[in-house]
Amino acid sequence: MEPIRIGVIGVASRGAYFVREFHENVEGAEVVAGMDVVDAHLDRFRDTVGHDAFVTKDYRELVARADVDAVVVASPDNFHEEQGLAVLEAGKHLLLEKPMAITIEGCDKLLAAHKRAGVVFGLGLSMRYMPMFEVMKDIIDSGQIGDVKAYWCNHFVGKGGHFYFHDWHAVRDNTAGLLLQKGTHDIDIMHYLVGKFATKVSAFGSLDYYGGDKPDDLHCPDCPEKDTCPEVQLGHPPHFSLCAFRREVDVEDNHVVIMELEDGIKAAYQECHFTPDYHRDHIVIGTKGRVYNSEDYSTVTVRMRKRHALSDTVHQVHPPEGEHGGGDVLLCRDFIDAIREKRPLRNDPYSARMAVAVGVAAHESLRAGGKMIPVERPAI
């Protein structure tokens, strides 16, 4: 069987994970082309997949190649719409890193293009493939905890500065905001586990720790405070070592979102980027009990309501190695299988669009002082 030939747009950061997974851990895939605007990234790409691979600094050249069957787009968020549309319009299969786009309009353009193209279109929402959340979904779908009435998610983003405030993520023009860029994963899982989409949101948030009055061109290695700064980032390339307290930083780092989902489910999502630890708490409450996860112990616990006592059942989860609790490699394998079997992926474009719509509405709400905002459905 001939391999599915993969091109990757944006071969650093998340793109590097996709390159490695498809090259090393996915049977039936061959990475044949890479695009990036940084020479060092392209050099590392070739070191990984082989020096015969095609490289370019123009994504259009990669998309146009006849020896590329499918394209992974892992560039910064503000390029997802443009580059994703180019892939779909070329009639090639697309795996687009989350978020789908940074506007609702951009998502709807991608949905329309996908409908015309008739190819496989998956999103980098790899948490849907995490065994921990598969266990939670099976429990919820079985009816064990009764009818779902409430959902709480707390996202403690340890090392938030490392991942989001030393580079392009910290500027709204590139991401719209971190409830969209980072929160898309959790919002999508909230939709996925209960099978319901949010209908309206109210949010509060601010920039409470990062940002400040430092020059926009200040890099950590050049800073006179590098020996005392708690957020110093050394040993990284210049585009990933900008001062986290620079003036241009304008995305919020502390958020609370209140949502109502279909069927009246009440939900809350909290995301803070300056916590000491890194953890996601997903807590789903039904009329008979609740189910919740522990990333630290790889467990899912069901706590049932009894007449005189509480009763717990603990499920031990054994995730595969890799990022996002083993979800990345499972996503990549499903992408190849979906192409061969001519079927959708588990992380479908419509759901990805709805996660973006919640993030957009939440940012609009918090920047308007908590105003209630309805979540837009697509026109198509």
* DSSP letters spanning 356-374: HHHHHHHHHHHTTTS--EE
Of the chain, the end-to-end C-alpha distance in Å amounts to 37
Beta bridge partners of 261: 198
Are 180 and 260 found together in one domain? yes
Using an 8 Å Cβ cutoff, are 372 and 199 in contact? no
Return d(Cα 330, Cα 318) in angstroms, integer: 14
Q: 90 vs 61, 113, 192, CA distance in Å?
A: 12, 10, 30
Residue after which a domain boundary falls, among 124, 144, 159: 124
- Does a structural domain hold residue 217? no
216 DSSP 8-state letter: T
Burial 124-149 (b: 16+ CB within 10 A, else e): bbbbbbbbbbbbbbebbeeeebeebb
- Does a structural domain hold residue 44? yes
CATH number of domain containing 30: 3.40.50.720
Residue after which a domain boundary falls, among 59, 89, 124: 124
Q: 374 vs 107, 196, 197, 235, 259, CA distance in Å?
A: 17, 15, 12, 44, 10
Alpha-helical (H) ranges within the chain are 14-20, 39-49, 59-64, 80-89, 104-117, 131-142, 160, 172-175, 178-181, 184-194, 327-341, 349-366
Return d(Cα 245, Cα 264) in angstroms, integer: 41
Are 142 and 162 found together in one domain? yes
Q: Structural domain of residue 146, as residue ranges?
A: 128-210+249-326+355-374
Which pLDDT score is estimated for 160?
75
312 DSSP 8-state letter: E
Are 40 and 183 found together in one domain? no
Alpha-helical (H) ranges within 57-183 are 59-64, 80-89, 104-117, 131-142, 160, 172-175, 178-181
Distance from the Cα of residue 189 to its chain's centroid: 10
| Domain count along the chain | 2
Which pLDDT score is estimated for 83?
98
- Does a structural domain hold residue 18? yes
Q: In the chain, what is the greatest distance between 2 CA atoms, to the nearest angstrom? A: 68
Distance from the Cα of residue 93 to its chain's centroid: 19
Tokens at residue 84, please?
A: 């994703």
SS3 for 36? Answer: coil
Which pLDDT score is estimated for 380?
63
Are 120 and 136 found together in one domain? no
Are 265 and 366 found together in one domain? yes
Beta bridge partners of 31: 6
Are 202 and 185 found together in one domain? yes
Return d(Cα 253, Cα 232) in angstroms, integer: 17
Return d(Cα 270, Cα 281) in angstroms, integer: 10
Are 183 and 142 found together in one domain? yes
Which pLDDT score is estimated for 45?
97
- Does a structural domain hold residue 380? no
Using an 8 Å Cβ cutoff, are 93 and 61 in contact? no
For 196, other C-beta atoms within 10 Å of its C-beta total: 18
Are 188 and 53 found together in one domain? no
Which pLDDT score is estimated for 48?
96
**Do the bridges between strand 70-73 and strand 148-156 make them parallel or antiparallel, or are there none, so unpaired?**
unpaired
Are 268 and 316 found together in one domain? yes
Are 117 and 264 found together in one domain? no
Q: Compute the C-alpha angle 104/73/183, nearest 5°.
A: 50
Are 117 and 205 found together in one domain? no
Positive or negative torsion for Cα 27, 3, 31, 351: negative
Which pLDDT score is estimated for 322?
67
- Does a structural domain hold residue 99? yes
- Does a structural domain hold residue 175? yes
Phi, psi of 24 (to 5 degrees): -105, -30
Tokens at residue 24, please?
A: 């090393």
pTM metric for this prediction: 0.94
CATH number of domain containing 361: 3.30.360.10
Are 54 and 30 found together in one domain? yes
Which pLDDT score is estimated for 321?
72
Burial 200-228 (b: 16+ CB within 10 A, else e): ebbbebebebbbeebeeebbbeebeeeee
- Does a structural domain hold residue 132? yes
Residue after which a domain boundary falls, among 66, 95, 124: 124
pLDDT tens digit at each of 380 positions of the chain: 899 999 999 999 899 999 999 999 999 999 999 999 999 999 999 999 999 999 999 999 999 999 999 999 999 999 999 999 999 999 999 999 999 999 999 999 999 999 999 999 999 999 999 999 999 999 999 999 999 999 999 999 988 789 899 999 999 999 999 999 999 999 999 999 999 999 999 999 999 999 999 999 999 999 999 999 999 999 888 889 999 999 999 999 999 999 999 999 999 999 999 999 999 999 999 999 999 999 888 999 999 987 655 668 999 998 777 677 778 999 999 999 999 999 999 999 999 999 999 999 999 999 999 999 999 998 76
- Does a structural domain hold residue 300? yes
